[in-house]
Amino acid sequence: MKRTYKFRLYPNKQQATTLTQWLTTCRILYNNSLAERKDAWQTHQKSFSYYEQANQLKAAKKNNPFLKAVHSQVLQDALRRLDKTFKHFFRRIKKGEKAGYPRFKGKYRYDSFTYPQSGFALDYQKKKLRLSKIGSINIKLHRPIPAEGVIKTCTIKRHVDHWYACFTVELPDPESQRELKTVIGVDVGLKSLLALNNGETIANPRWLRNSEKKLANAQRKKNRKVKGSNNRHTQNKKVARVHRKIRNQRKDFHHKLSRKLVDNYDLIVYENLTITNMVKNRHLAKSISDAGWGQLMCFTEYKAEEAGTIVEYVSAYNTTQLCSRCGQLVPKTLATRIHSCPYCGLDLARDHNSAITVLRRSTHYVESLSGQGLPVEPV
d(CA 272, CA 320): 14
- For residue 36, count CB atoms less than 10 angstroms from its CB and return exposed for 0-12, middle for 13-18, buried for 19 or more: middle
* Residue closest to 158 by CA, chosen among 2, 15, 29: 15
Q: How far apart are CA 32 and CA 41, in angstroms?
A: 14
Q: DSSP state, 231? A: H
Catalytic machinery residues: 187, 271, 351
Tally of CA atoms within 13 A in the half-sphere of 230 that contains its CB: 0
3-state secondary structure 25-73: HHHHHHHHHHHHHHHHHHHHCCCCCHHHHHCCHHHHHHHCHHHHHCCHH
Strands 150-159 and 267-271: unpaired
Spatial separation of the C-alpha atoms in residues 364 and 366, rounded to whole Å: 6
Among 329, 342, 327, residue whose Cα is nearest residue 378: 327
Residues 1, 171 contacting (CB under 8 angstroms): yes
C-alpha 141/C-alpha 164 separation (Å) is 11
The phi, psi pair for 315, rounded to 5°, reads -60, 135
